[in-house]
Amino acid sequence: MTFQTITLLPLLILIWSHAFAQNNYPKDSLICWQENTRLKWVDFQSPENLADKNYSSDAADASTASGVIVRKTSKDGVFEYKVSVLFYKSESWVRDSSTMTPILLIHEQAHFDLSELFGRKIRLTIAQACNSKKESAKLQLDDSIKNLIVELDKYQSNYDKDTDNGRVTLEQSKWLIYIKTELTKLSSYKSTANSCWQ
């Protein structure tokens, strides 16, 4: 059985081996996206942040490291895909206690929710390809998944740009409504406890 993992951390796409993903991030340093689980400020555990000499008032006050991990296994020529949406505690940070506002936490939760949205899009794409009678759909599946991960990165960047990192209330509200609506449309493909730790 071979393993291939595709994951996204902010602005970085990596192909990881299964062992690397498991060894570098102990289970207790990860949060698997679940419908009724919300991020808390204590989850932002990275000691590093943007509080450096070049700090400006428009810089981010927090950063959510979340992503989609796609594991592709092959046994006897049959491929199986497992999709997990994870929050990385050790890579996520908040500038300081003065910035730990409920509004900013909602903004950061929406970054995690965007990762879940694309996890659902990937699960839908996998289901459609596996159910397709066209061999080309199956052959193009890996590229389709990679394209969705690139698209997720663009959405994350646009979300921060449009909302000025959560400071523009009207744009923040529009994005929250959009994310909730899209998650609902794809609710059949949501993360479950079983999909997280496979």
pLDDT value of position 6: 40
As a whole number of angstroms, the distance between CA 71 and CA 81 comes to 6
Q: What pLDDT score was predicted for residue 60? A: 83
DSSP label of 4: E
The Cα–Cα gap between 69 and 5 comes to 6
- What is the predicted pLDDT for the residue at 49? 62
Helix (H) or strand (E) holding 64: none
Beta strand residue intervals within the chain, DSSP E: 2-9, 12-16, 30-32, 62-63, 66-75, 78-88, 93-94
Give me the pLDDT at residue 83, please: 95
pTM of the predicted model as reported, rounded to 2 decimal places = 0.84
Going by the DSSP 8-state scheme, the letter that residue 40 receives in this structure is -
pLDDT reported for residue 22: 40
* pLDDT value for 43: 97
Sheet bearing 78-88, strands edge to edge = 12-16, 2-9, 66-75, 78-88, 30-32
User: Hey, where are the domains in the chain?
Assistant: 2-45+64-196
Amino acid at 121: K
- Tell me what pLDDT residue 134 has: 80
d(CA 107, CA 113): 10
At 58 the pLDDT is 57
Backbone angles phi, psi at 111, to 5 degrees: -60, -45
- The rounded distance, in Å, linking the Cα atoms of 160 and 87 is 17
CA angle 101, 103, 107 (to 5 degrees): 115
> Do 4 and 71 touch, CB atoms closer than 8 A?
yes
Residues in the chain predicted with pLDDT less than 50, given as ranges, are 1-23, 50-55
